[in-house]
Amino acid sequence: MTATVAPPVSPTIDPAPIERTFPPPWMRKVGTISLNVYAGLGLLYLFIPIFVIVIFSFNQPKGRFNIVWQEFTLANWKDPFAIPELVDAFKLSLEIAAISTGVALVFGGLIALALTRYRFRGNAFVNLFLVLPLTTPEIVLGASLASLFIAQGTDRGFLTILIAHVMFCVSFVALTVKARLRGFDWSLEDAAMDLGAGPMRTFTKVTFPLMIPGLLAAAMLSFALSLDDFIITLFNAGTEVTFPLYIFGVRQRAIPPQINVLATTVLVVSVALLIIGTVAGRMRERSRTSPH
Amino acid sequence: MASAMSPKTSGSGDAAALGDVVIGINQVTKRFDDFVAVEHANFGIRRGEFFSMLGPSGCGKTTTLRMIAGFEQPTTGQITLEGKDVSKTPPYKRNVNTVFQHYALFPHMSVFDNVAFGPRSKRTPKKEITRRVNELLEIVRLGDYADRKPGQLSGGQQQRVALARALVNYPSALLLDEPLGALDLKLRQAMQIELKRIQREVGITFVYVTHDQEEALTMSDRIAVMYEGHVEQIGSPQEIYHSPASVFVAGFIGVANLLPVNIDSISGANALIQLPGGNKVSLPIGSLAPVVGGAATIMVRPERIFVATAEPEGDLPHLKVSVTDLTFQGPIVRAAVRCADGTELVTHIGDGDDLPMLRPNDHLWLTWEIEAAKLLPGVDERHTESTESNTALIEV
């Protein structure tokens, strides 16, 4: 114990605003600017390849390789389907992405429902198996699927690509939908049943409509993943050529600007979907929380 | 009516004896794995009454409600609705509707569509649906809110939508699962009055689950007090308050003084008991089966106790206590006192009690009318606990 008593401090006196002496204002200004520049450079690094693709879709290349800027043209955009093989490959990719997304939505959605709705034996195992396709290196997945098909004597082609894509898309869909369902109020289903709706009507009128945002997010992710998958597809494509396989295949002989055009189209469409989704979500949020 | 009902006799026979039983709970037991949620519940709910199931969390009241609604099935026993066994009937085929604890309104539907969900599921003609939905929205005073989404409503308004949605099918009974739990105190009190009004207006049986004893006392025609899966007592609020059937009921409803005593001897229908620091009293046994030397509890409500500074004359029960705490509460002064055996009691001192200025550690004599005290079987630790928590609550 000490006998000294702290001098009484009057609590009524307003403390004078403290002058911050460090860092001085100019230093802070420099700090802010350099942070912005640094962040800008980081983003630029990420986006430069994408910008290059977009810009070069307006290039008029000399020769077969669209890699050196020559002059601006809209010719590529006016004739995006000039190369039949490219168009076939692009169509095949869209087709496979659409079908595998559709199949993955059904299975993945149901898996997600089962995993969040019920506690059952093997729950943890199903979760583990869902994560496996995401964490296993693609080359392992692709190679093991290919050896399975070869061992079975299955001809590799459209169907095997589809099977491979469904396999990894199901995982992504199930995990995405599951994450969205985590906060789902299951008493809504009780309420529907309580009001006289049977299991079918409860699902179609209550559960499913509330799952749609999650399913849409999952569908976009799954579509994009399928569209740009290269490694797994390479192992299981047989003689079929998807968009990524086509680009890889022709790159030593030619890089036509139509590749850039189609790639830019995909980019624009997905960015547009993203923006629409975000805006719609914001608007829904606002209408839900606003008191009037 | 028998005023001193024991839990066993109040339950059995009730369902059969009552003429107009809407819901019958017949020897129902519900087990979840090793856990017994409800054991041998046996009672009937009458047509048009406001029936509450009251008890602390985990007492089985919500499980019982969910069994009536059809979300759970009894492990053994039967649930009847309008005389028919519905134990195995799914919820969507039972003519009862539920107001859920957190309302469970469909967030993607408007208020109108929420309320119309029931009749639409039952394929009611469109015109009829519109008429009924509007009628119900008028009853809950939300006529102007039909186009809103639930997220745009306040808690009290959502509550009323849930009520309208559950009533629109004209159910045999409306089940309410702690519907006011999420509302603040003022709104809750307003909704209590509102609920009673609506119940009178529609004349439907309400089965109300709550852990709030005040709410149950205020609103109910009859209350079933439940504890650890057992129905401890069923009766009117007055019966439950004045003649609790068990130490638990006495401690759970209102403030109760619970004095643990031993039965010294038995003469006829009375038990002779030595009060700690007081006289020997003779109390009616009522329905309990006492053993000489056995433990029992005397229950007296604080407002039934008279206070004196000198030992009272006569045979009325009385005992000497010392004051531990005095709290001014407006119309009364609440006095916490300690008996000779250390038991803490509470009494009210009003202006009518002609007493000198009291201080802690002063000695007082407590006395009460014979009928004011109830002799209850057994003693239980948890009740000293619950009286203390009541005390603490009042002192704050």
Closest Cα in chain A, distance from residue B25 (Å): 19
ipTM, 2 dp: 0.78
Report which of B139, B194, B208 is spatially closest to residue B170, judged by C-alpha positions.
B139
Q: Specify the pLDDT at position A46.
A: 94
Q: Which domain holds residue B259?
A: 255-377
In a domain, B58, yes or no: yes
| Residue B151 with chain A: CB contacts under 8 Å | 287-289
- Judgement on whether residues B222 and B291 belong to the same structural domain of the protein: no
- Collect all residues of chain A within an 8 Å Cβ-Cβ radius of residue B121: 192, 195-198, 201
Cα separation, A63 vs A118, whole angstroms? 61
Residues B185 and B279 in one domain: no
B189 and B83 in a common domain: yes
User: Which has the higher per-residue pLDDT, B289 or B231?
Assistant: B231
pLDDT band at A18; cut points 50, 70, 90: low
| CATH class of the A83-255 domain in this structure | mainly alpha
Say whether A190 and B71 touch across the interface (CB within 8 A): yes
Q: Which segment of A40-54, B9-23, B329-343, B366-380 scores lowest on mean pLDDT?
A: B9-23
Interface test with A, best of B123, B152, B175 (most A CBs within 10 A): B152
For residues A180-196, average pLDDT: 92
Is residue B96 predicted with pLDDT exceeding 90? yes
Residue B76 lies in a domain: yes
CB contact under 8 A, B98 and A194: yes
Q: Residue range B101-119: average pLDDT?
A: 94
In a domain, B337, yes or no: yes
What are the chain A neighbours of B108 within 8 Å (beta carbons)?
209-210
Whole-number percent of chain B with pLDDT over 70: 89
pLDDT of residue B1: 36
Q: Does A49 touch chain B (CB under 8 A)?
A: no
B272 shares a domain with B186: no
Pairwise CB contact (< 8 Å): B118 & A288: no
What distance in Å separates the CA atoms of residue A89 and residue B271, rounded to the nearest whole number? 98
In chain B, what percentage of residues exceed pLDDT 90? 52
pLDDT digits (tens, 9 = 90+) for B123-143: 999 999 999 999 999 988 899
**Does position B356 have pLDDT exceeding 80, yes or no?**
no
Classified as helix, coil or strand, B13 is coil
User: Would you say the C-alpha torsion B203, B207, B212, B218 has a positive or negative sign?
Assistant: positive
Average pLDDT of B73-94?
Answer: 93
B332 touches chain A (CB under 8 A): no
Overall size of chain A counted in residues: 292
pLDDT at A275 over 80: yes
Q: How many whole angstroms separate alpha carbon A127 and alpha carbon A111? A: 10
Q: What is the pLDDT of residues A118-130, one digit of tens each?
A: 888 888 898 899 9
Q: What is the CATH number of the domain that holds B309?
A: 2.40.50.140
Q: Which of residues 112-131 of B touch A (CB under 8 A)?
A: 117-118, 121-122
pLDDT higher than 60, residue A202: yes
CA distance A239 to A153: 15
Whether B165 contacts chain A with CB within 8 A? yes
* Per-domain boundaries in chain A: 83-255
Answer whether residue B394 is part of any domain: no
Q: How many domains does chain B have?
A: 2
Task: Tell me whether residue B22 is in a domain.
Answer: yes
Q: How far apart are CA B231 and CA B254, in angstroms?
A: 18
Q: Is the pLDDT of residue B27 over 50?
A: yes
* Minimum-distance CB partner of A196 among B108, B121, B152: B121
B266, B285 contact by CB (below 8 A):
yes
Residues B232, B303: one domain? no
Q: Is the pLDDT of residue B4 over 80?
A: no
For residues B381-388, average pLDDT: 45
Strands (E), chain B: 21-32, 35-46, 50-54, 76-81, 84-85, 96-99, 173-177, 205-210, 222-227, 230-235, 257-267, 270-274, 280-284, 295-300, 306-308, 318-328, 333-339, 344-349, 363-367, 374-377
Residues B231 and B335 reside in one and the same domain: no
**Neighboring chain B residues of A187 at a CB cutoff of 8 Å:** 100-102, 104
Average pLDDT over residues B190-203: 89
What is the token pair recorded at A85?
A: 């093989």
**DSSP structure class, residue B143:** G
Q: Are residues B223 and B261 in the same domain?
A: no
State whether B152 and A187 contact (CB < 8 Å): no
Q: Is residue B386 part of a domain?
A: no
Is B387 a residue whose pLDDT tops 80?
Answer: no
Q: Which residues contact A42 (CB under 8 A, 6 or more apart)?
A: none
Contact B104 A288 (CB under 8 A): no
pLDDT, tens digit, 9 for 90 and up, residues B49-65: 999 999 999 899 999 99
Instruction: Considering only the beta carbons, identify the residue of B90, B97, B121 that sits closest to A201.
Output: B121
Cβ–Cβ gap B106/A292 under 8 Å: no
Asked if pLDDT for residue B9 goes beyond 70, the answer is no
- Judged by CB atoms closer than 8 Å, whether chains meet at A195 and B69 is answered as no
User: B264 and B355 share a domain?
Assistant: yes
Distance from CA of A120 to the nearest CA of B (A): 14
Are the C-beta atoms of residues B303 and B350 closer than 8 Å to each other? no
> Cα angle vertex B53, ends B47, B55, to 5°?
170
Q: Are residues B89 and B230 in the same domain?
A: yes
Which of B322, B341, B350, B332 is closest to B379 using CA atoms? B341
Q: Is B149 an 8 Å CB contact of chain A?
A: yes
Report the residue of A193, A194, A200 to disrupt the B interface, i.e. the one with the largest count of B CBs within 10 Å: A194
Please give the average per-residue pLDDT across B116-129, as a whole number.
94
Q: Among residues A138, A140, A110, A141, which one has the least CA distance to residue A126?
A: A110
Q: Is A117 on the interface with B (CB under 8 A)?
A: no
- Residues A216-239: pLDDT tens digits? 999 999 999 999 899 999 999 988
CA–CA gap between residue B188 and residue B174 (Å, rounded): 19
Q: Please report, for the domain that includes residue B196, its CATH number.
A: 3.40.50.300
Q: Which of B103, B121, B159 to mutate to test the interface with A (most CBs of A within 10 A)?
A: B121
- Compute the nearest-CA separation of B34 from chain A (Å): 17
Structure tokens that stand for A91 in this block:
């169509």
Residues B204 and B74 in one domain: yes
For tokens 């609590």, the residue is A11
HEC states along B361-385?
CCEEEEECCHHHCEEEECCCHHHHH
Q: Are residues B372 and B268 in the same domain?
A: yes
Residue of A nearest to B113 (CA): A205
pLDDT value of position B86: 94
| Structure confidence at residue B380 (pLDDT) | 62
**A192/B contact by beta carbon, under 8 A:** yes
CA distance B234 to chain A (A): 27
Can you give the pTM of this predicted structure?
Answer: 0.77
Mean pLDDT of A196-205: 95
Do B30 and B177 belong together in one domain? Answer: yes
